[in-house]
């Protein structure tokens, strides 16, 4: 009987018990009069992200203003122009894919600087770039991540914010050509491209069981213990 009770209550715990993850994220974009640039040369094109600044930040569902205005530095990467591939089309516009090189992580390729002090750095892994019409997206569903992040600050407030990035971070970047050209067509003609950049950098903390999960699991343990004690006394 006690086994059945334990199994029943444990099942209820699994069904109703969800976990809460503490999520942290920051948004960034190009500063005024600053742009990303793509400069083709030979079989490659250099993608420079320009000057980026944090515009908003959130920690555990609340705004976190101390990091707003920090500088985000993303190392230059290179497009393999020979990898150009049309993967689809919509409304007469093609979705063009390019591979980014190098495919192995760029050491220290992602950095955040606040008040001229390095607060976080990590290795950058970028593999794919897609253009659709006037826009470009670095694909975060393949591998667009900040690996092995290191927190350099000792400020307790900033430490609390950056802790969620300890296991890595998801980096999502979108670009738009300010000249209203099709970047993929410009690359075919070996023309330089400029545009604006926006993105997010997010991390997730350790999953914490909800109170209902803890309560139901505790009831299961107490019930089994009570049955065991009653059986011992009766014997």
Tell me the backbone φ, ψ of residue 201, rounded to 5 degrees.
-130, 120
**Cα 101 to Cα 127: distance, rounded to the nearest angstrom:** 7
Nearest CA to 38 among 73, 76, 93?
A: 76
pLDDT reported for residue 143: 60
Residue appearing with tokens 């334990």: 6
Q: Percent of the chain at pLDDT above 90?
A: 49
What is the average per-residue pLDDT within 194-203? 91
The pTM assigned to this predicted structure is: 0.75
User: At 84, is the pLDDT very low, low, confident or very high (cuts 50, 70, 90)?
Assistant: very high
For residue 84, give every residue at least 6 positions away whose Cβ sits within 8 Å of its Cβ, in sequence order, or none. 96, 97, 98, 184, 187, 188
Length of the chain: 235
Helix runs in 1-49, H state only = 2-16
The per-residue pLDDT for range 109-157, each reduced to its tens digit, is 999 999 999 999 999 988 889 998 888 998 766 567 898 899 999 999 9
Which is more confident, 9 or 231? 231
Determine whether 198 is exposed, middle or buried from the number of CB atoms within 10 Å of its CB (0-12, 13-18, 19+): middle
Q: How far, CA to CA in Å, does 2 sit from each of 6, 8, 9, 213, 223?
A: 6, 10, 11, 20, 8
**Cα 103 to Cα 5: distance, rounded to the nearest angstrom:** 53
Helix (H) or strand (E) holding 41: strand 36-41
Nearest CA to 74 among 158, 161, 181, 198?
A: 198
């Amino acid at each position: 009987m006690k086994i059945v009770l334990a199994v029943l209550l444990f099942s209820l715990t699994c069904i109703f018990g969800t976990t809460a993850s503490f999520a942290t994220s920051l948004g960034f974009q190009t500063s005024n009069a600053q742009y990303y640039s793509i400069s083709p040369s030979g079989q490659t094109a250099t993608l420079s992200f320009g000057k980026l600044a944090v515009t908003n930040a959130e920690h555990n569902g609340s705004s976190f203003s101390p990091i707003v205005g920090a500088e985000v530095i993303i190392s230059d990467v290179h497009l393999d122009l020979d990898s150009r591939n049309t993967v689809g089309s919509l409304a007469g516009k093609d979705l063009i894919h390019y591979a980014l090189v190098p495919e192995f992580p760029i050491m220290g390729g992602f950095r955040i600087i606040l008040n001229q002090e390095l607060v976080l750095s990590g290795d950058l892994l970028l593999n794919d770039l897609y253009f659709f019409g006037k826009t470009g997206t670095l694909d975060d569903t393949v591998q667009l991540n900040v690996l092995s992040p290191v927190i350099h600050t000792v400020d307790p407030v900033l430490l609390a914010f950056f802790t969620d990035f300890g296991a890595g971070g998801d980096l999502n970047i979108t670009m738009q050509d300010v000249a209203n050209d099709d970047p993929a067509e410009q690359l075919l003609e070996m023309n330089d491209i400029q545009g604006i950049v926006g993105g997010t950098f997010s991390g997730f903390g350790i999953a914490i069981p909800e109170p209902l999960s803890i309560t139901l699991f505790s009831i299961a343990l107490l019930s089994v213990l009570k049955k065991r004690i009653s059986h011992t006394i009766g014997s």
